[in-house]
């Protein structure tokens, strides 16, 4: 299956987890990809896993929380690809804490990266997407946007914002041909989580030491043997960014193994 043959794609958060899995999936289907991440080590890991697709992969260091970095990074990506047909906004951070112990700086950092960062990448990419072939944008929301995830109020707010923004953008650019969709991963072992729902040390503190784990009783997948791998989400991302989803826009797909019926 070569749904992405000749298709030019920018993927953020490409140095680990679902972003990396999305890069590898799109490469496996013939796409040309720019992998963007703030971690050089992560990007090197992605390149090392690209195999035969490495000759269609370009990596750039990009911090989506920094406007200048986004401007320069997206311009570099478009230049390297000779245009842009699809954008996958997988970059984000996860932080967990008691809300009454969360500082304004911590709250704003999560919004800055997850919500504002997604906006910045989209804004800078739209001119190239308008000139692209069957352009599509896949944003990353979360099951936390619509279901209760304790100790993650800021994260939930940021992902709820991404979800609402996706709907607004889909309406705004429908007549100009850009499709906007969102995925809502849940119960996924990724670059953000260790497979138990707690955030990894590399992305921030895990759940509070005195967290009430009974609150997570309902946050377990109904199918499978626990958390799924990032490739589970990458397959859906690839579908949404391809022509298979030509009649899909302004909506989201929850990928959580039935955690939230």
Residue with the two structure tokens 């896993």: 49
Residue 167 located in a structural domain: yes
- Cite the active site residues: 155
Q: Per residue in 186-241, pLDDT tens?
A: 989 875 554 444 444 334 447 888 888 877 766 778 777 678 999 999 999 999 99
227: left (phi over 0), alpha (psi -120 to 50) or beta: beta
What pLDDT shows up at residue 214? 77
What pLDDT shows up at residue 205? 47
Residue 251 located in a structural domain: yes
What pLDDT shows up at residue 5? 97
Residue 261 located in a structural domain: no
Tokens of 81: 């690809």
Q: Which helix (H) or strand (E) holds 33?
A: strand 32-37
Q: What order do you get walking across the sheet with 251-255 strand by strand?
A: 57-61, 32-37, 8-12, 86-89, 136-140, 179-185, 251-255
| Range of the structural domain that residue 232 is part of | 8-255
* Contact (Cβ atoms closer than 8 angstroms) between residue 27 and residue 20: no
3-state secondary structure of 198: coil
Q: Mark 121-141 as b/e (b = at least 16 C-beta within 10 Å).
A: bbebbbebbeebeebbbbbbb
What pLDDT shows up at residue 193? 54
| Cα four-point dihedral sign 68, 12, 108, 126 | positive
Looking at the 3D structure of the chain, how many domains does it have? 1
Residue 113 located in a structural domain: yes
Residue 193 located in a structural domain: yes
Residue with the two structure tokens 């626990």: 226
Residue 227 located in a structural domain: yes
3-state secondary structure of 25: helix
CATH classification of the domain holding 241: 3.40.50.720
Listed as ranges, residues in the chain with pLDDT below 50 are 194-205
Residue 218 located in a structural domain: yes
What pLDDT shows up at residue 123? 98
Q: How far apart are CA 260 and CA 193, in angstroms?
A: 18
Instruction: Report pTM.
Output: 0.92
Residue 3 located in a structural domain: no
């Amino acid at each position: 299956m070569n749904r992405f043959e000749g298709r030019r794609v920018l993927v953020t958060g490409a140095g680990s987890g679902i972003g990396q899995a999305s890069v590898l999936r799109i490469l496996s289907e013939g796409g040309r990809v720019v992998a963007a991440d703030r971690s050089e080590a992560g990007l090197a890991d992605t390149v090392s896993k690209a195999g035969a697709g490495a000759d269609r992969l370009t990596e750039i260091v990009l911090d989506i929380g920094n406007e200048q970095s986004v401007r320069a990074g997206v311009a570099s990506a478009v230049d390297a690809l000779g245009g842009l047909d699809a954008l996958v906004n997988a970059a984000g951070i996860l932080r967990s804490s008691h809300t009454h112990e969360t500082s304004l700086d911590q709250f704003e950092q999560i919004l800055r990266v997850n919500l504002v960062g997604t906006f910045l990448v989209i804004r800078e990419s739209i001119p190239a997407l308008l000139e692209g072939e069957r352009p599509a944008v896949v944003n990353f929301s979360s099951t936390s946007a619509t279901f209760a995830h304790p100790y993650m109020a800021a994260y939930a707010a940021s992902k709820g914002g991404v979800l609402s923004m996706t709907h607004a953008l889909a309406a705004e650019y429908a007549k100009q041909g850009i499709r906007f969709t969102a995925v809502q991963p849940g119960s996924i072992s990724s670059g953000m989580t260790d497979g138990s729902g707690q955030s990894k040390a590399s992305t921030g503190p895990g759940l509070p030491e005195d967290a009430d784990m009974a609150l997570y009783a309902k946050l377990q997948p109904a199918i499978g043997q626990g958390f799924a791998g990032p490739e589970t989400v990458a397959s859906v991302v690839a579908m949404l960014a391809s022509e298979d989803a030509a009649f899909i826009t302004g909506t989201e797909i929850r990928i959580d193994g039935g955690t939230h019926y």
